[in-house]
Amino acid sequence: MRFFSDNDAPVHPAVLAAIEAANASDAAYDGDALSQALDARFSALFERDVAVIWMPSGTAANALALSLLCPPYGGIVAHEEAHIVLDECGAVELQTGGARLLTCAGEGARLSVDSLRERVARQGTGVHHTRPYAVSITNVTEYGLVYRPDEVSAIGDFCRETGLALHMDGARFANAVAALGCTAADLSWRAGVDVLSFGCTKNGAMNAEAVILFDPARAYEAKRRRKRAGHLLSKGRFIAAQLHAMLEDDLWLANARASNAVAAPLGRAAGTRLLHPVQANEVFLRLSPGEAAALRAQGFGFHDIGEGVARLVTSWHQREADVAPFAAALAAL
């Protein structure tokens, strides 16, 4: 009955088992065997050599990633409703040492090459203007929409053309890959992404994210910045254990497919109330205050994200029978 956020979901049993198995003496920080094995594990997933920096939260992962791509005096172009802009309390600005977030608009929290080109041109190139150094996109977007590989590639080509780095906030990267049926490589480095924040916490982990560096030479600086920010946990093996568990037998994809699958019937039940196509595990719809109150009176929990706008988020542990009562209640409005 709870559709507030996939952050609310339980930890997957396989992840809990991996944490328990890691509860033995080993090297501290990231010197343990599990942490040391992450590069090879993720390199196999992404079909190339990568360096992996485990992190305890998505905000920490995004801030660390962007601090590697943009100096304190530079700018990061992002959608005006991006998570790094509205919901991370200035973490990117803090971790970069003062870089500016240069925002632009786009339907469904999506950026296009045209909107990026216009925003970069409007920024100016004179000494009085902040120079952009990076672009950050979110996949799945803040309104539940998915960038296809060709769309990411178009943005990646623009970034190469203009000398910008490309970061992807992949808090729901698994949901995007599951929805598209593509590979992790096709939706990231093959499309021009330089650094990916690979989310697991919303998808069945307890508190585990990964910064994927497609240029492993960045790893040394990334590790220093992680320590300086206070995110080098002394028992890092428990985060590494969660990441390994999520990759085992493609649990990260199975969980994402499950959460995507149960969002679809909610979208169908919403009918003309639907604000955006349901492409992953989020549903946005119009509800009057009275309708929202009536649904809550029946025991359904969800967030209001604006006047007359509700957001429903499904999670890996839910099945169609779990969402059927809400779908019926929506259809009956």
Three-state secondary structure of 122-164 = HHCCCCCCCEEEEEEEECCCCCCCCCCHHHHHHHHHHHHHHCC
Distance CA 269, CA 266 (A): 5
Interstrand relation of 100-104 and 74-79 (parallel, antiparallel or unpaired): parallel
Which tokens hold the place of 306? Answer: 């604006």
Nearest to 85 by CA among 109, 65, 103, 108: 103
Pairing relation of β-strands 165-170 and 195-199? parallel
The token pair at 224 is 């220093």
Asked, as a colleague might, if the bond just before 140 is cis with ω within 30 of 0, I would say yes
Q: Looking at the DSSP assignment, which residues form a beta bridge with residue 285? A: 274, 310
* Nearest by Cα to 74 from 112, 25, 123: 123
Residue pLDDT tens, the chain, 333 long? 999 999 999 999 999 999 999 999 899 999 999 999 999 999 999 999 999 999 999 999 999 999 999 999 999 999 999 999 999 999 999 999 999 999 999 999 999 999 999 999 999 888 889 999 999 999 999 999 999 999 999 999 999 999 999 999 999 999 999 999 999 999 999 999 999 999 999 999 999 999 999 999 999 999 999 999 999 999 999 999 999 999 999 999 999 999 999 999 999 999 999 999 999 999 999 999 999 999 999 999 999 998 999 999 999 999 999 999 999 999 999
- Predicted confidence at residue 230, as pLDDT, reads 97
The confidence score (pLDDT) of residue 299 equals 96
Please give the DSSP secondary-structure letter assigned to residue 2: B
Q: How far is CA 165 from CA 67, 69, 189, in A?
A: 11, 6, 12
Torsion sign over Cα 144, 150, 155, 156: positive
Per-residue pLDDT at 135 = 98
Model confidence, pTM: 0.97
Question: Would you say 311 and 109 are in contact if contact means Cβ atoms under 8 Å apart?
Answer: no
C-beta separation of 110 from 146 below 8 A: no
Cβ pair 65, 211 in contact under 8 A = yes
Q: Rounded to a whole number, what is the distance in angstroms from the first to the last CA of the chain?
A: 17
Kindly give the pairing relationship between strand 131-138 and strand 74-79. Answer: parallel
What does the pLDDT read at residue 126?
86
Closest of 17, 10, 9 to residue 248, by C-alpha? 17
330 and 298 in contact (C-beta within 8 Å)? Answer: no
Q: To which residue do tokens 């028992």 refer?
A: 235
